[in-house]
């Protein structure tokens, strides 16, 4: 009876392991995947992108930056199940081109220089401040462009402005790495935060879902 129970439990464990390996596939650390455009974050997580061959564009498909230039147009036309579809380019979630991920942030696409469980990017944002008064021209709008840093949690796709508190929260999911990071003084933490983000990413490779 005990032998049968052990065999039964072993079969359940084996089934769980096989299922865990079959419901996802690892994303190469260097993003060595085919160039593609992803309409939504869901499409990216499942690696269901629009390929170069599906896109109708006046841009030469032999150009290395074909994906980016195609999205410079106001609309994107592509074939899907032998039907032609057209969408606004600024609604696309992102694309992969030459082993680099580009993500749409407020209508513009920005390169993601650090990719992994924790992604990092730099984007230009419009800041609306208090207006100002000019004796010759009257009141100004108080709008200006600023470069800001952002973090992305790969597993929910949420983009948050880079802050040490946010970075630490993501790192804290790995107790050993986080404990090592917390041993540093505050100045060293700020200096080495990106090294630890890369270290975290190396320890936690990401997966596409099937």
Place of tokens 């439990």: 9
Distance CA 123, CA 154 (A): 17
Residue 153 located in a structural domain: yes
Query: In whole angstroms, how large is the CA radius of gyration of the chain?
Result: 23
Residue 135's domain spans which residues? 118-210
**Gap between the Cα atoms of 34 and 32, Å rounded:** 7
In a shared domain, residues 82 and 125? no
Q: Determine the Cα–Cα distance for residues 165 and 170; give it in Å rounded to an integer.
A: 9
CA distance 103 to 69: 14
Look at residues 124, 86, 101, 3 and name the one whose alpha carbon lies nearest to residue 47. Answer: 101
Question: Is residue 15's pLDDT more than 80?
Answer: no
The whole-angstrom separation of Cα 177 and Cα 167 is 12
**Same-domain pairing of 71 and 132:** no
Do residue 155 and residue 208 come from a single domain? Answer: yes
pLDDT tens by residue, 19-34: 344 577 899 888 999 9
Output the pLDDT for position 17: 36
User: What's the pTM?
Assistant: 0.80
If asked whether residues 98 and 132 sit together in one domain, one would say: no
pLDDT at residue 13 greater than cutoff 70 = no
List pLDDT tens digits, range 122-171: 998 877 765 555 566 555 556 788 899 999 999 999 999 999 999 999 99
- Whether residues 124 and 189 fall in one domain: yes
Residue 90 lies in a domain: yes
Highest mean pLDDT among 12-16, 79-83, 159-163: 159-163
Tell whether 37 and 75 lie within a shared domain.
Answer: yes
Alpha helices in the chain (DSSP H): 2-22, 41-45, 66-71, 164-171, 175-182, 186-203
| Mean pLDDT, rounded, for 68-91 | 93
- Dist. CA 58–CA 60, nearest whole Å: 6
Calculate the alpha carbon distances from 158 to 26, 144, 150, 155, 191 in Å. 20, 25, 10, 8, 24
Which residue is it, tokens 């209508």?
A: 107
- Residue 33's CB is within 10 A of a number of other CB atoms, namely 14
Q: Are 130 and 140 in contact (CB under 8 A)?
A: no
């Amino acid at each position: 009876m005990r032998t049968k129970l052990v065999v039964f439990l072993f079969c359940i464990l084996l089934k769980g392991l096989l299922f865990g390996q079959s419901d996802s596939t690892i994303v190469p650390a260097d993003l060595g995947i085919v160039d593609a455009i992803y309409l939504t974050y869901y499409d990216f997580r499942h690696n269901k992108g629009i390929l170069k061959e599906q896109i109708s564009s006046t841009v030469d498909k032999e150009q290395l930056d074909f994906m980016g230039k195609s999205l410079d147009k106001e609309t994107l036309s592509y074939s899907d199940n032998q039907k032609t579809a057209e969408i606004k380019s600024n609604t696309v979630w992102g694309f992969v081109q030459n082993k680099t991920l580009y993500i749409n942030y407020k209508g513009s696409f920005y390169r993601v220089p650090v990719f992994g469980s924790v992604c990092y990017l730099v984007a230009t944002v419009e800041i609306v401040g208090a207006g100002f008064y000019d004796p010759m021209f009257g009141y100004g709008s108080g709008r200006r462009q600023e470069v800001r840093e952002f973090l992305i949690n790969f597993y929910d796709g949420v983009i948050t402005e880079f802050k040490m508190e946010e970075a630490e929260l993501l790192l804290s999911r790995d107790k050993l790495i986080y404990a090592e990071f917390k041993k540093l003084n505050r100045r060293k933490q700020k200096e080495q935060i990106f090294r630890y983000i890369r270290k975290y990413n190396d320890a936690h490779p990401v997966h596409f879902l099937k």
